Amino acid sequence: MITITNYYTEKKSLQLSSLPETLKKGWSFVDKVTQDGASWDAYHASDSIKKTVDLYLSKLNEFVNSNKPKETKTKLTATKSKQTTRKPTTRRRTTTSSSRTSKLSKREEAYQKADKVELISPELKLIKRFALMHDKVKTQNQIRLFINALQRAITEKRIRKTSPHAKEIMEIQDSLINLMGKFKSANDSIKIELSEKKRSHYLTLVGKQAELRSVKFIKSYINLQGKLIPNDKAKNLYNRIARAINTNKLTKKDKYWSQVDQIMSTLKSFVKKNPAQGQLIVSSKELNGLQGIVEGCDCEMLNGIEENTVPRNTIMSSTDIINLDFHKLGFKGKWLKLIGDPSKGFKAMIFGKPKMGKSYLAVDFAGYLARNHGTVLYVAREEGIDDTLQQKLKDKKVAHPDLYVSDYLPEYLNDYDFVFLDSVNKLGLAPEDLEELSRSFPNTSFINIFQTTKLGNFRGGNEFQHDVDVVIEVPEKGKAVQFGRFNQGGEVNIFS
């Protein structure tokens, strides 16, 4: 049976081309969510991702089982009928257990040898992602998104020329660019093959660092904070930590043992007080300290934060806030006039009556962002991908390699800097859904488009408007007015 534990081992025996279309999408989705097997953190942290992946694995197992050769089935049946005593069954289980223990021992050995850190360096994350692409089939879009992620890390100076592995990063960038030149069409796919020497070198580098187990548990704990969660979810995290302690994988020697011990105590109390479900509330002081750890520092407060990365539910000194460097996107022209200059991760809403031009405005804005500020996903749920949308793209001349369009909202949005939701009403999203999206993808800006009532008001409660930085109304045909936080009263002509 294929599970998340053996997924990347078992999938080597499968051919992507032989899978049904729905399973091909699941194949790509798991690669995106786990960064080609580098981390299953997103799976454990998000219920929606977990449900999607579990459903995919269930369907994949059904497909694999239904396509087994007939002779294999006969052999298994014959073997099963011969096992009339417990002894063979016991021996077989012992072998499996031994094999599993051996595999875990190798992982543990690698973990012990590695330099334990709070935060894996961005270079090593990208190197691991590239190394794990070996022997996998990738589309042009997947390669392009990888290049964007790499170049964004360089632009944001998370990777510098003086970085320890800058040479390998440049090699990988060149390799990815060369791969892009091999695609014959946008729908083409290529099997990635690395030389054993090069792959071994990359994996050796990756093995030099390992994320502290305590930090993994702290991250999972923070993800539960402030949410209404079932008793089982808190119990599951408690048991994961307990297993690590019972097997000596997490001991009092860990530098964050006291924090993990406190987490265990809080989870135990939560489970006792909430037999069904409840809201896990963490004190501001405790939360600030934990967030400081997962940001890679050993401090009580988050000081010296670059850009717009202050997490929610944080208490900071006013003197620290004065010293923060909130990086502006640098809007220019009519968009600066309409909106002002927001920071990364801003939230906006656009609303107006039908046929007034709100979708034209949104498409035009998406094109501007793709040309100048990053990768854009336009979720065209309202119209779908049809000739009407095609005409808008042509009219506004915004088609661009970094502007992607879909007719559904993907689960994984980390590869996009800006996401347009056209429309929120058609997607069936509530205010808490939009809040969850912003919390899950803090570096992504969301532009939410709304249908209106006959009176011209946007459909939905006032919470939608209160939760955004930019509010753009299209009160009459061809005219857009902005009355959000950055540049109240700004306006533009949509069709000029």
Q: CB–CB of 468/482 below 8 Å? A: no
Q: Nearest Cα to 365, choosing from 406, 404, 396, 402?
A: 396
- Using CA atoms, how far apart are residues 167 and 150, in angstroms rounded to an integer? 13
- Using CA atoms, how far apart are residues 406 and 385, in angstroms rounded to an integer? 7
- Using CA atoms, how far apart are residues 381 and 44, in angstroms rounded to an integer? 28
Scored b (16 or more CB within 10 A) or e, 178-212 reads ebeeebeeeeebbebebeeebbebbeebbeebbbb
Give me the pLDDT at residue 197, please.
Answer: 92
Give me the pLDDT at residue 168, please.
Answer: 93
Per-residue pLDDT of the chain (496 residues; tens, 9 = 90+): 888 878 888 888 888 878 888 888 888 888 877 777 777 777 776 767 887 888 888 888 888 888 765 443 333 333 333 433 333 333 433 444 444 444 556 777 887 888 888 888 888 989 998 998 898 888 887 888 888 888 878 877 888 888 888 899 999 999 999 988 888 887 788 889 999 999 999 989 988 888 888 888 988 888 787 777 888 888 889 999 999 899 888 888 888 898 899 999 989 988 888 888 888 877 666 766 776 676 654 333 333 333 444 555 455 567 666 666 566 888 989 999 999 888 888 999 998 888 888 889 999 999 999 988 888 999 998 888 888 889 999 988 998 888 999 888 887 787 789 999 988 888 888 888 888 888 778 889 999 998 877 665 665 656 677 778 889 998 888 899 988 666 667 888 988 7
Q: Which residue is listed with tokens 């049809």?
A: 386
E-strand ranges in 248-384 read: 277-279, 347-352, 376-380
For residue 479, list its beta bridge partners: 476, 493
- CA 49 to chain CA mean position, Å: 9
Q: pTM for the whole thing? A: 0.45
- Using CA atoms, how far apart are residues 118 and 106, in angstroms rounded to an integer? 22
Scored b (16 or more CB within 10 A) or e, 297-322 reads eeeeebeebeebbebeeeeeeeeeee
Sign for the CA dihedral angle at 262, 267, 270, 272 comes to negative
Q: Is 264 exposed, middle or buried (0-12, 13-18, 19+ CB in 10 A)?
A: middle
Give me the pLDDT at residue 61, please.
Answer: 85
- Using CA atoms, how far apart are residues 460 and 465, in angstroms rounded to an integer? 9
Cα R_g (the chain), whole angstroms: 25
Cα 398 to Cα 77, 418, 444: the distances in Å are: 61, 15, 20
Give me the pLDDT at residue 298, please.
Answer: 38
- Using CA atoms, how far apart are residues 479 and 485, in angstroms rounded to an integer? 19
